[in-house]
């Protein structure tokens, strides 16, 4: 699919990569300086909705840069232009609702690295798109690196083909502990009441099972969720038959509040997890946030994370089906 839209100009950003013939991210800028306002942007997006959607799928990541997007209200207007259905975030990250479909991204300490993940990868229903808006760029660090997921699968297949096929056959099992109250000092500090939007334990269990989780209540009032079997990779329609590394093996493995193993209970060798972590980092793409940037990620095709940062940093997010 060729680039053929006159209402945007293709730009560049530091850190972009050419992956399998496509530039990640595809940077789109105003066609001329006088058309950098929010109204011009909304009009251009409205006139080219199908084309823009195709670009996100084709390039896996599209960065709108150079437009004067000021706040959550304008960011929400951008998101709603496309008519994509909203999907509520479910997970451990502490977040705050800002405006309509807009939330803060993970509010965990900026000093911590948020590991690469497909958004809501463990839930039965996960977003197709993750959209991020930089309201306040950090003075240092704070990038949102992302990874073309199929590249991880390719390299793991090259180095550990027997392991990959064994886990594909058995599936993965994860456990995660949701705390009995919010802990804003942790990037995974969201309490179960907030995570499941209820203070009632029976209702929380019901909602957890609807999301594909088994649960176990702990003596301290926290809840242990058990998920599995879950796939190691997935193939999604319209993405060249690529096998995406659609799991959170590295992110959950051997942590204080989480674990990852094969679904039959077989432990996963530490050296394989370590090498997978290295491969993911080697394949990562990162750019420096600028004020007003809006990044569209194909959640089926990319893992994303967050680099440690100096304050202030304010990045907002919307998730869409």
State the pLDDT confidence band at 312, using cuts at 50, 70 and 90. very high
For residue 252, give Cα distances in angstroms to 86, 160, 284: 26, 20, 19
Domains of the chain: 9-141+287-320 (3.60.130.10), 149-280 (3.60.130.10)
What pLDDT, in 10s, does the model give residues 77-131?
999 999 999 998 887 778 899 999 999 999 889 999 999 999 999 988 999 999 9
Q: In the predicted model, is pLDDT for residue 1 greater than 60?
A: no
pLDDT of 260-292, one tens digit each?
Answer: 999 999 999 999 999 999 999 999 999 999 999
* Stretch among 93-97, 215-219, 225-229, 244-248 having the lowest mean pLDDT: 93-97
Q: What is residue 4's predicted lDDT score, i.e. its pLDDT?
A: 72
Parallel/antiparallel/unpaired status of strands 26-29 and 61-64: parallel
Please identify which residue in the block is written with the tokens 């240092």.
140
What pLDDT, on a 0 to 100 scale, did the predictor assign at position 188? 67
- Name beta bridge partners: 251: none
What does the pLDDT read at residue 94?
A: 80
pLDDT score at 3: 63
Burial class (CB in 10 A: 0-12, 13-18, 19+), 294: buried
How much is the pTM?
0.94
Helices (H), 211-301: 249-252, 270-282
Ramachandran area for residue 140 (φ above 0: left; ψ -120 to 50: alpha; else beta): beta
d(CA 42, CA 181) in angstroms, rounded, equals: 40
Helix axes 161-170, 149-159, angle to 10 degrees: 120
The reported pLDDT for the residue numbered 184 is 65
Please compute the mean of the pLDDT values over residues 155-180 and round it to a whole number.
Answer: 97
d(CA 211, CA 228): 12
* 180-197 residues labelled b (16+ CB within 10 A) or e (exposed): eebeeebbbbbbbbbbbe
Residue (of 57, 55, 52, 60) closest to 24 by Cα position: 60
Strands of the sheet containing 146-148, edge to edge, are: 114-117, 302-306, 146-148
Residue 2 has pLDDT above 80, yes or no: no
pLDDT in tens, 170-203: 999 999 999 998 876 676 667 899 888 899 999 9
CA gap 116, 277 in Å, rounded: 9
Residue 194 has φ and ψ, to the nearest 5°, of -75, -40
Q: Check residue 310 and give its pLDDT.
A: 98
Q: How is residue 73 written in tokens?
A: 């209200």
Tell me the per-residue pLDDT of 9-51, one tens digit each, with 9 for 90 and over: 999 999 999 999 999 999 999 999 999 999 999 999 999 999 9
């Amino acid at each position: 699919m060729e680039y053929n839209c006159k209402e945007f100009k293709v730009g560049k950003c530091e850190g972009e990569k050419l992956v399998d013939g496509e530039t990640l991210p595809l940077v789109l800028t105003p066609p001329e300086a006088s058309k950098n306002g929010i109204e011009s942007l909304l009009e251009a997006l409205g006139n080219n909705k199908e084309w823009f959607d195709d670009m996100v799928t084709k390039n896996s990541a599209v960065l709108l840069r150079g437009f004067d997007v000021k706040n959550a209200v304008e960011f929400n207007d951008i998101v709603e232009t496309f008519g994509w259905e909203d999907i509520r975030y479910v997970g451990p990250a502490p977040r705050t609702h800002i405006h309509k479909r807009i939330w803060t991204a993970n509010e965990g300490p900026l000093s911590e690295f948020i590991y690469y993940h497909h958004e809501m990868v463990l839930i039965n229903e996960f977003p197709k798109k993750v959209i991020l808006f930089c309201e306040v760029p950090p003075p240092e660090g704070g990038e949102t690196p992302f990874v073309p997921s199929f590249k991880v699968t390719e390299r793991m297949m090259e180095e550990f083909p027997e392991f990959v096929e064994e886990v594909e056959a058995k599936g993965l099992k994860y456990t995660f502990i949701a705390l009995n109250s919010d802990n804003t000092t942790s990037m995974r500090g969201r309490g179960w009441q907030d995570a499941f939007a209820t203070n009632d334990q029976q209702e929380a269990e019901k909602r957890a099972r609807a999301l594909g989780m088994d649960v176990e209540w702990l003596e301290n009032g926290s809840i242990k969720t058990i998920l599995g079997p879950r796939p190691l990779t997935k193939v999604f329609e319209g993405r060249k038959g690529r096998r995406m590394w659609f799991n959170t093996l590295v992110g959950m493995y051997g942590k204080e509040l989480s674990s990852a193993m094969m679904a039959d209970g077989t432990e996963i060798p530490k050296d394989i997890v370590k090498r997978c972590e290295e491969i993911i980092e080697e394949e990562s793409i990162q750019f420096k946030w600028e004020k007003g940037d809006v990044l569209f990620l194909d959640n089926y095709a990319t893992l994303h994370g967050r680099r440690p940062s100096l304050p202030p940093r304010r990045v907002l997010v919307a998730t869409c089906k």
